[in-house]
Structure 1
């Protein structure tokens, strides 16, 4: 990816895409493949596939301090480090400097970001699950927020398209709450995970232990001639995969867009406003600040795709003020910035498993188990204390020599101990749905600006009684399933969680049928500005309990198809 624009030679395009992550990469690919000259704008630096993954082939001992950052480094990424796992020496450079990129918290909000070409598609967890009509219909059936204007049948063909392109490994289960897809071979469970799978099946009706459905190639299939190969089981995914084995914008969608000859990619380009023509009632383009030089530019296009992330895209809309939109573009409903959702997690149970000390595994599988939702699906599964549901990720593994090293400092006993693997442990980590509460919101603070003179985001959001009650059940059911599987020394845990920590922020420009209660329509268009599409997490009307990226990609491909047809008809 090497085609950049840095001067005045061209300022008008068929399409502009803001952002290069999961959604932006797909928008770029689909627009370019449909023949539209497309400008792709990324606020962060350039990252080329393979050559710009500096730690992909390093071992932990190649890093000082066993891969831990110094206190000085941590001070610059204190909020990014709230996860406890994102900020380590092998990959901390993907995550933003909190001092350079500040935000504000009325209530704690963990905004975990990566500003570079590819965005969080380089660091994502890769779990890829379809929604079902149970998810799309929940708001309407329960009288929560507003109804989705789409159903599973509308999105199913686009799930097919996306899965077939990115490569998702998984198992066919025939579950109504988790539709099957176009799968690569499932990643095998290890012996303890397989044992737990069998015991859960024996003891619990309607509960299934399977492998996580992850966007990893797990076969010899060739994917679109992009030199992507199968997973090598190194489990260094967060550093950037030089094999292209897991899906990212850098290894897949952006190269596909570039080879059409229709893409112009411009990194270091901070979009802060969409321009509007009150006569045509259309957007005309975007205003940009160069991240490095701070020079300003304007680029024009017939159609604009906002794919900068739920918070960033909504921030751009909020800053896009005019006589027509005094409170932000598309904000006739007053819902812009409201209804922030995430997936609450960091709770579950873990313990030790005996009886498998003669077994080990080969490789570092970048995936574990998945237990699909089994609550509030009807009948005995319905709960009185909370609505919606949750699933579990997690898995089993063997310890290493660390326990021995803590007890034995020298001698033959120590040397013998470090040659033997530790015991087996099993963990079930729950991920639950958060309801769309109107008062969970983001606003802009124009008194606290960043180094580019732009307003900073303030968060005011929290989980409520429904989620707190759900967390109790998450812990209890994990412990019960582990106990029935023969796990001992079971520990229930509920670690600190604040909204955002799941890194699945959603809902700030929700989709709906009525312009009075929503921001975008069923095609991801702003109700009031038909040539602006929003296809990242902003448009989500509810959250489900499954990882959302596959749904973003499917809706993005669908929205581009709609936009191309509307452009051809002259409707936008």
Structure 2
């Protein structure tokens, strides 16, 4: 990093949203400082486990008892961190927070953030979703509709590479897709069963995922997906989208980006005279030195809860309760998606069939409830979708007892029977009393107040969860699968790793924090484009929407900057 302290723009965070903000602002010619609270991670160079095999780990990839204690919150997700991915998840002993009610906050503090470990499922919102709050009298009305975001979805999909299948569904708009990955034989038959036995519009398709599948496509510095399914380690081929492989290198190529890791932003500075933000205050993570950086445009992309925390800490005479918090909506309306529930089943037959590679994707069942009178459900609002996969068990399932000799050798060469599993992802309504605040008693190792979570599922969510289980059990049984088992594991909000809200967009400054361009209503040169801006949650993975809104907001900011609107 050079010694300058004044820039045209500052971007806080380097994950999904921060990488896009950096790319767009730098390509528009703004000298941009990009601040990341975690360590540096350089594409390929800093993926230490990218080529490891299972036998490289003495505990088969699992953490030791002592290591699990360091990651006691991160371990709640069930599949991470493991020995090959723990370096991309935070040490919970070093980064505590307050749980007034259980909240599973899964984090990754490094350059690239959780873009290195995200699930990569990429789905558009529709007008059904953008209009739902208004139509149902829930929360606040979104200040945008699908037509406002559609061209930005186009831009993002074409740039990051999203593979998938266009379906012509009103609830799941089509996109600019790479060739779809293929369903396996069991998934294809399940798809046909659903199509032939249900008349309410439900269907099975391959997941829409941010993986390059077209070998003839050109993505600078990136290649096609190799079907290794080791994405959470960092992909040396750049087959899936991450900030590290894509947007941050693009920003760097402009010569306009200055990247500073180990920089914990804790306050946005505000000038009462100009009514603009002037920069940010930072604590160096390693030295604990306090620094200030100045800019005319500020983008908060630190992740939803972290950005809300920064705004809450940014107090002044004008904003005694946090920057831009005239409405008292800051920190309210925290949401996530349902997770850790669905069903599993065993599948007879298909023993002469297998599949090639480790497809880093599964099948998807789009929302099919509460779309019209025919699909209306009593007892809850909104809807849900499913993500799942069918696969063959490994050789160990075929050995009921120990064997030896020729029979044993032949047995271990045969894969086991087919199985299928599905997880439901349901919408979480925005409630003002589901909120995050600053703890008045607990501080972190840098002397900053910890975030305190008071968030819970309510009646609408619990009733939806019951239907999520019931509907997939019905589909599995109709398909002829056996040993169908619904499941629901202990979990709380946050475990879907789609935490959002807290600085919602809205039309009215009295009830929202941001306007329709992601600007603070009262401080127009501050943009918030991570999940904090969400006014509702839909039931689809949100990262594609974060990226589209970020690209749109960065375009708006660069045009306003060029016109001198942020000069004060």
Partner residue in 1 for 2:59: 65
Mapping for residues 478-489 of structure 1, pairs under 5 Å: 478-489=472-483
Match of residue 363 from structure 2: 369
Task: Choose which of 36, 46, 52 in structure 1 pairs with 2:40.
Answer: 46
Q: 5 Å matches for 1:159-558?
A: 159-205=153-199, 206-224=201-219, 226-404=220-398, 407-408=401-402, 410-558=404-552
Write the deviation string for residues 468-502 of structure 1: whole angstroms up to 9, x where unpaired.
11111111110111111111111111111200000
* TM-score, normalization by structure 2: 0.98
Contact 2:329 2:512 in 1 (8 A): yes
CA distance in 2, matches of 1:543, 1:310: 13
Equivalent residue runs for 1:64-143 within 5 Å: 64-143=58-137
- CA contact 1:374–1:381 (8 Å) conserved in 2: yes
The whole-number CA distance in structure 2 between the counterparts of 1:515 and 1:221 is: 48
Of 553, 558, 561 in structure 2, the residue corresponding to residue 559 of structure 1 is 553
What's the offset of the Cα at 1:347? Answer: 1.1
Deviations 1:373-398 (CA, angstroms, capped at 9, x unpaired)? 00000022000111100000001000
Query: Separation in 2 of the partners of 1:460 and 1:413?
Result: 58
Q: For 1:52 and 1:567, how far apart are their aligned partners in 2? A: 35
Distance of aligned partners of 1:317 and 1:409 in 2 relative to their CA distance in 1, 3 Å threshold: farther
Q: Which runs of 5+ in 2 are unaligned?
A: none
The whole-number CA distance in structure 2 between the counterparts of 1:407 and 1:246 is 41
Displacement of 1:405: 5.2
Q: CA deviation at 1:412?
A: 4.3
- 3-state SS in 2 of match to 1:195: helix
How far is 1:222 from its partner? 3.6
- Spell out, residue by residue over 1:321-369, the C-alpha distance to the aligned partner (whole angstroms, 9 max, x if none): 0000000001100010110000012111111111201100110000010
Contact 1:165 1:223 in 2 (8 A): no
Q: Could you tell me how far 1:535 is from its partner in structure 2?
A: 0.1
In the alignment, the residues of structure 2 paired with residue 300 and residue 549 of structure 1 have an alpha-carbon distance, to the nearest angstrom, of 29
> Tell me, what secondary structure is at the counterpart of 2:131?
helix
Distance 1:334 1:76 in 2: 35
TM-score by length of 1: 0.98
The DSSP-based 3-state class of the residue aligned with 1:300 is strand
Equivalent pair of 1:43/1:291 in contact (CA under 8 Å): yes
Aligned counterparts of 1:289 and 1:76: Cα–Cα separation in 2: 23
Work out whether residues 351 and 488 of structure 1, in 8 Å CA contact, stay in contact via their aligned partners in 2. Answer: yes
CA contact (8 A) 1:404 1:414 kept: no
Question: Does the Cα contact within 8 Å between 2:15 and 2:243 map onto a contact in 1?
Answer: yes
Of residues 127-136 and 196-205 in structure 1, the stretch that sits farther from structure 2 once superposed is 196-205
**How many matched pairs?**
565
CA separation of 1:20 and 1:223: change in aligned 2, threshold 3 A:
farther
- The RMSD of aligned alpha carbons is 1.0
Look up the SS of the partner of 1:556 in the other structure: helix
Cα contact 2:314–2:323 (8 A) shared by 1: yes
Q: Give the Cα–Cα distance (whole angstroms) in 2 for the partners of residues 442 and 238 of structure 1.
A: 28
